[in-house]
Amino acid sequence: MFGNLLGKNKKSDSKNDVTQIVARVSKMNLSEMRFYVNNRVTDLAISEDGIVEVLKKLTHIDIESSKRYLQTDDMDSKKKKGFDLVILICKNMHVKAETVELLQEFILVYEELIRAYDTQHKDIYASRLTDAISLAIEGVNRHSELNRKTNVLGS
């Protein structure tokens, strides 16, 4: 009890938090992931690791089904929710360099799916996603610049 107040066992607590996030995100659907990214899940706070896990779920191949989360034969509403979730992640303040790399991987993995959706529905998700990723990169750059200035001033 007092270990938390005194700052002891921080490593084990953070490791437990990450394993809890991984377990929870693996069971989430798109709506639950959106609630999580919007920080509306009361018992699980949003974190950089959580956003990374959401993007890993979207981009990596599932071991059990040997498929990615979004497929060409999925309903259009699922594809739209997935694209909107990625745009929402780009606007989040918990984005870090690893997140940006996964965002770029998302674009590469789903490039054909995005193009097909845009032509079929007259949407512009390709440009919206690239613009959102550019904003995420700018946010990471600003954050690292702020950290650098803080380190210089703190020295």
pLDDT digits (tens, 9 = 90+) for 19-39: 999 999 999 999 999 999 999
Using 70 as the pLDDT threshold, list the residues of the chain that sit under it: 1-14, 155
Rg, Å, the chain Cα set? 18
pLDDT recorded at residue 132: 96
pLDDT recorded at residue 5: 46
CA distance 81 to 28: 13
Q: Which of 60, 80, 79 is nearest to 70 (CA)?
A: 79
